[in-house]
Amino acid sequence: MKKTALIFVLGCILGSSNPLFAKSKWISLFNGSDLTGWFVRGNATWEVHDGILTGEGGMGHIYTDATASNFEFKGMFRLTGEKTNSGFYFRAVPPADNPDGFPRGYEAQICHNQDAHTGWLWKPGTPTGKATNLLTKDGEWFTYKIKAVGGKITFWINNKKVMTYEDDEYKAGHFAIQGHNPGMKIEAKDLFYRDLYE
């Protein structure tokens, strides 16, 4: 009986050694000290203060050197100031015809004052995936979680699922944060992702 139980336990342990979990370790996108691992496009000013990545001063984007295709992402964001509007991009690249322009890829909207608000999925210039009720407001930190596998994209805000959408136009690319208007500030911290393997 003991031998049978031991074999069963070992079988469960070995059976759980799926390559997906072995390779899907969380990777930090931001070291909390400087902009190592990022590159800037556009006119926004990006700095690090007290472990927080900040962007302000106008339109522009900061991209990660890292790229991903199928992944999970989690991070914290806060908007302050006037005419607040930002976004977190994924599977994104700077446009070839205008490197300082809007990224070509998907955007997880960060904007608490319009109909296509935080939690919506945007494609370049177009609100695409509708979110549920607005759960965020200016001046408060919130968590964003994103999962993208093939053409299925899902968002969570503060651990509540708010959006699921099917679209496979963009297959892989960088992560990026948007600075949008003068007078506003976007802050980000605790930014992590992990690749998902078949």
pLDDT tens track, the chain, 198 positions: 444 444 444 344 444 444 443 357 999 999 999 999 999 999 999 999 999 999 999 999 999 999 999 999 999 999 999 989 999 999 999 998 888 889 999 999 999 988 999 999 999 989 999 999 999 999 999 999 999 999 999 999 999 999 999 999 999 999 999 998 889 999 999 999 999 987
- Strand runs (DSSP E) across the chain, as ranges? 27-28, 38-42, 45-49, 52-56, 60-68, 71-81, 86-93, 104-110, 121-123, 126-129, 142-149, 152-157, 160-166, 173-179, 184-195
Please give the model's pTM, rounded to 2 decimal places: 0.87
What is the reported pLDDT for 22? 36
Instruction: Give Rg (Cα) of the chain.
Output: 19
What is the reported pLDDT for 10? 39
Going by C-alpha positions, the residue among 72, 64, 88 that lies closest to residue 136 is: 88
What is the reported pLDDT for 15? 42
For residues 29 and 146, is the Cβ–Cβ distance under 8 A? no
What is the reported pLDDT for 54? 98
Dihedral in degrees, nearest 10, Cα atoms 165, 161, 72, 173: 40
What residue ranges do the domains of the chain occupy? 22-195
For residue 37, the surrounding DSSP H or E stretch is: none
Nearest-angstrom CA–CA distance, 153 and 140: 25
What is the reported pLDDT for 144? 99
CATH of domain 22-195: 2.60.120.560
What is the reported pLDDT for 170? 98
What is the reported pLDDT for 8? 40
Going by C-alpha positions, the residue among 19, 139, 149, 36 that lies closest to residue 90 is: 149
